[in-house]
Structure 1
Amino acid sequence: MVRSWEHAQLVAVDGTTRSVRSPEAVRLVAAVLDAHERGEQPAVFTRQHVLTTTEAADLLAISRPTLYKLCASGQLPFHMAGRDRRFLAGHVHALLQVRSAHLSKSSAYRRCLVALSDVSLDEDVLNDPQYVPSSRAREAATEITDRLLAGLT
């Protein structure tokens, strides 16, 4: 839960304080604190931070072989450090946003298909690769999904 503050006062363990006035910095600090409260281990990288193959794969929640395929297809820029690939955190973040947007559109489209086909909204049906909706349902779902997502962006 990200809080909306205009500015914040950070107090270090030794008692020194620092005022944070940038809204972006306040949102970043709030997001890190929220993640920590949820028991997560937040990490903050600059866009120029260099990641190893394992770190990039972990951030994208994919296997290393899948990461290599993304590199080979040109979807993820990298540079070589000796025999190892290295990735800029900014490039990994950009790919993560693209993949996330694609997955949310795919999920929204699939839910529209199921709803328009008068099939119960059952997770088994949503994830069933054998389910084939009618062409009319596909056209309507495409239109609805595009309109819904256009309103969200």
Structure 2
Amino acid sequence: MTAEPLDQQTYTATPTDRLADVLDFIHAYESRRSTGAGDQHLSLGSDDESHIELPEPVYRALAQIVEALAAGKAVTVAPQNQLLTTQQAADLLGVSRPTVVKLIDDGSLPASTPGTKRRMIRLDDLIAYRARRREAQLQAIFETSAGDPSLDDDPESIAEQLRLARAEVGARRRARAEG
């Protein structure tokens, strides 16, 4: 196996890749893992030397990749540094670079300034900010929804309620940005 540069790579699957078998294995592993049944490991060969225990982040990444490929999607793996530029942070958040700078200026997103103008954001801080932002968005959706959906509600009805609530949250955000 040769070392590849840590650049962004996009992967696609073919029908001959037997992803259904891999997906079945992952689902069976999840079932065994949730019940605590025995040691779990990834087997890459038939002898005892071909087993390795995957760290949880590696397992979650592989499971997500297999799920996406099995659904017919392409997967892009883009390694990130622990310190990100404002543009890299903007790309990960799906916003513009000036928006990230504004978040830093108003104290919503911590950053360091090692030089005179360049700002660096820790990846952990960015992930924590994104989680807080998603939680606030969900809270706003629930507060603006017509009522709490129950488990008995029709899924299409719940989806429509969420769509309307998201639209209202977006309209409020745009009004706040314009005002």
Q: Same fold (TM over 0.5)?
A: yes
CA positional deviation for 1:34: 3.1
1:62 counterpart (83, 87, 95): 95
Question: Aligned partners of 1:23 and 1:114: how far apart in 2?
Answer: 34
Question: Aligned partners of 1:35 and 1:78: how far apart in 2?
Answer: 33
Measured at CA, do residues 91 and 51 of structure 1 come closer, stay the same or move farther in structure 2, by a change above 3 Å? Answer: same
Unaligned runs of 5+ in 2: 1-22, 34-39, 150-156, 173-179
Measured at CA, do residues 76 and 123 of structure 1 come closer, stay the same or move farther in structure 2, by a change above 3 Å? Answer: closer
Question: Aligned partners of 2:54 and 2:163: how far apart in 1?
Answer: 48
TM-score by length of 2: 0.52
CA positional deviation for 1:27: 2.6
Question: Aligned partners of 1:44 and 1:36: how far apart in 2?
Answer: 19
- CA RMSD in angstroms, aligned pairs only: 3.6
Unaligned runs of 5+ in 1: 131-153
Count of residues in correspondence between the two structures? 121
Measured at CA, do residues 21 and 58 of structure 1 come closer, stay the same or move farther in structure 2, by a change above 3 Å? Answer: closer
Aligned partner of residue 87 in structure 1, secondary structure: strand
Partner of 1:41: 76
Question: Aligned partners of 2:77 and 2:68: how far apart in 1?
Answer: 6
Question: Aligned partners of 1:88 and 1:10: how far apart in 2?
Answer: 35
Partner of 2:137: 103
CA positional deviation for 1:22: 4.4
Partner of 1:84: 118
Question: Aligned partners of 2:125 and 2:163: how far apart in 1?
Answer: 35
Q: Which AA in structure 1 matches 2:59?
A: V
TM-score by length of 1: 0.59
Question: Aligned partners of 2:78 and 2:69: how far apart in 1?
Answer: 10
Q: Which AA in structure 2 matches 1:59?
A: L
Aligned partner of residue 112 in structure 1, secondary structure: coil
- Among the aligned pairs, what percent are the same residue? 21
CA positional deviation for 1:57: 0.7
> After TM superposition, what 4+ stretches of structure 1 lie above 6 angstroms from structure 2?
none
1:26 counterpart (59, 76, 80): 59
* Contact 1:56/1:87, CA 8 A, preserved across alignment: yes
